[in-house]
Amino acid sequence: MKIKCDIAIEYDDIKKTKNILKSIEIDNLNFVKSSIKGKKINAHIEGKSVSSIINTLDDYLACISVAEKVVNKK
């Protein structure tokens, strides 16, 4: 069985959105497919179990959080 999860995170500035996505892309590998639409980062995650989705989502959001802190310091 495949479990799917889609999330969208919206920012107030397109430049900030692009910089955050650029910062986390290396960590995505084949686990997360991210794209930008407007000022939103859209992420699609697939896994074989709920626990794998939760772990991937937790890692992804931790990376987003660090990238936000770095981008906001500029």
Domains of the chain (ranges; CATH) run 3-73 (3.30.310.50)
Question: Which neighbouring-strand residues pair with 36?
Answer: 41
Residues 6 or more apart in contact with residue 21 via CB below 8 angstroms: 34, 36, 41
pLDDT digits (tens, 9 = 90+) for 46-59: 999 999 999 999 99
**For residue 74, pLDDT beyond 70:** no
Q: What percent of the chain has pLDDT over 90?
A: 81
Using only C-alpha atoms, what is the Rg of the chain? Answer: 12
Q: How confident is the model at residue 44 (pLDDT cuts 50, 70, 90)?
A: very high
Other Cβ atoms within 10 Å of 20 Cβ, number: 24
- Whole-number pLDDT of residue 29: 73
Residue 31: band (very low, low, confident or very high) from pLDDT cuts 50, 70, 90: confident
pTM of the model: 0.87
